[in-house]
Amino acid sequence: NAGVTQTPKFRILKIGQSMTLQCAQDMNHNYMYWYRQDPGMGLKLIYYSVGAGITDKGEVPNGYNVSRSTTEDFPLRLELAAPSQTSVYFCASVPGDRGRANEKLFFGSGTQLSVL
Amino acid sequence: DAKTTQPTSMDCAEGRAANLPCNHSTISGNEYVYWYRQIHSQGPQYIIHGLKNNETNEMASLIITEDRKSSTLILPHATLRDTAVYYCIVRVPHDMRFGAGTRLTVKP
């Protein structure tokens, strides 16, 4: 198993450009999450999904969109990049079987994004 | 907002036990307490979790008070490699929100 795979690892965008951060997991997990982490700060939840076709907003969803067409993939879309979106982005997943709360998160290695 | 309160930073001497407190006074009956840590800018690493009983694994021990309003993560013999930010999280099934965590510095 590869676990949670994020691509790319690094990216530099110009203001106003768009891009998609990819996240894939091969563990058949139901729940997936996107977080951002600004320098020296904790993780902030952007969006999450409890299964294919179901997504919901987290704490800081503005400027982002997500989709969940398959169990494996949970891409994060930035439509009009802004300097405030410079951050490290982490994707995570958890089995989420029957909504149990006693399952640990598996994290990807992160994508470092700079918007200049 | 995160449902937990942790000190911003703590120091610990190498080889000593590190005791990291967490306050979660609004925890409800079906919510688990989780601990993760993050070293530099790597993805957070799972440490331990519990519901109401104390738990121990190869990394740490988790002590949860009887009223479940607070807990303590114990690293029994801290090493320099344990220097990291430690996050205490109260988990509901569909949500996992991180606070600012405690920056633990282990000193020689």
Share of chain A above pLDDT 90, in %: 76
Question: Quick check: B43 and A33 CB within 8 A?
Answer: no
Structure confidence by residue, pLDDT tens digits, A10-62: 999 999 999 999 999 999 999 999 999 998 888 899 999 989 999 999 989 99
CB contact under 8 A, B41 and A108: no
- Indicate yes or no: CB of A104 within 8 angstroms of CB of B34: yes
Q: Using a CB-CB distance cutoff of 8 angstroms, which residues of chain B are in contact with residue A50?
A: 94
Is A94 in Cβ contact with B96 (below 8 Å)?
yes
In angstroms, the Cα distances linking B78 to A68, B39, B60 are 41, 14, 10
CA quadruple A25, A29, A31, A37: dihedral, nearest 10: -30
Q: Could you tell me the CA-to-CA distances from A14 to A17, A78, A94 in Å, in that order?
A: 6, 12, 33
Q: What average pLDDT does the segment B25-31 reach?
A: 85
Look over chain B and give the mean of its residue pLDDT values, rounded to a whole number.
91
Length of chain A: 116
Return the residue of A nearest to B44 by Cα. A107
List of residues 6+ apart from B35 with CB closer than 8 A:
B20, B22, B47, B48, B49, B60, B62, B73, B86, B87, B88, B89
Of A56, A96, A102, the CB nearest to B49: A102
- For an interface test with B, which of A4, A10, A25, A43 has the most B Cβ atoms less than 10 Å from its Cβ? A43
Percent of chain B with pLDDT over 70: 94
Span between the terminal Cα atoms of chain A, in Å = 36
Q: What is the pLDDT of residue A100?
A: 64
Q: Does the structure show a pLDDT above 90 at B28?
A: no
Q: Is the pLDDT of residue B82 over 90?
A: yes
Q: How far is A43 from chain B (nearest CA, A)?
A: 6
